[in-house]
Homo-oligomer: A and B are copies of this chain.
Amino acid sequence: MIAAAAGRLFAELGYDRTSMRAVAAAAAVDPALVAHYFGSKQRLFVSVVKLPVDPELIVAQVVLGERGGAGERLARTVLGVLEDPAGLARITGMVRAAASEPEAAALLRKLITRDLYGPIARALGGDQPDLRANLVGSQIVGLVLARHVVQIEPLASVEPDAVARALAPVLQHYLTGDLASGTITL
């Protein structure tokens, strides 16, 4: 209950404006209980904000299949996770917190390079897999921020399928293209 309430508040208010007291109120428990179980707000955040999906499953889904389709599979997987309200809440919470909180930024760095996009880039066999993972992460974090946090229009209202089609070749370029040529080579 505490974890669910904390996850919701972090997503809605961002890290800075979520207080331990507000989490306790939303979970209808005594603030002392939140402090007892989670210690600090940083520890509460890191325990609560986990990926809504198993990273290994996502990596397998994207890597299996034709190499030239990896960008599209990744785009569709990400858009699918963001369609699920629970997934969306956790991911927006993570991105918002990473913008202001060093501990959340460290979590996001680990997720992008070690758990998610790094393994995908490595499995696809391009050079500079960590840089590729970072570039993929920059576009996906930027999408979450623009579409779901800043809610810029029309991007915020466009069908997920249309967003996936616009992003697919970009992610493919970052994963397997020639990054140095200045042109697209998929």
| A72 touches which of B134, B172, B182 (Cβ 8 Å) | B182
| A152 touches which of B134, B154, B169, B172 (Cβ 8 Å) | B134
The contact string, 1 if C-beta is below 8 Å from chain B, for chain A 118-162, is: 000000000010110011011111110111011111110010001
Asked whether B141 lies within 8 Å of A100 as measured between CB atoms, the reply is no
Name the interface residues of A11-44: CB closer than 8 Å to any CB of B.
14-17
Name the interface residues of A78-136: CB closer than 8 Å to any CB of B.
95-96, 98-100, 105, 108-109, 112-113, 128, 130-131, 134-135
Chain A contact residues (Cβ within 8 angstroms of B): what range? 35 or more
Distance of A168 Cα from B137 Cα, bound (Å):
17
Does A8 make an interface contact (CB < 8 A)?
A: no
Does A53 make an interface contact (CB < 8 A)?
A: no
| Complex copy number for this chain | 2
Does A45 make an interface contact (CB < 8 A)?
A: no
| A180 touches which of B17, B100, B147, B162 (Cβ 8 Å) | B162
Which residues of A does B touch, CB under 8 Å?
14-17, 72, 95-96, 98-100, 105, 108-109, 112-113, 128, 130-131, 134-135, 137-143, 145-147, 149-155, 158, 162, 164-166, 168-170, 172-174, 177, 179-184, 186
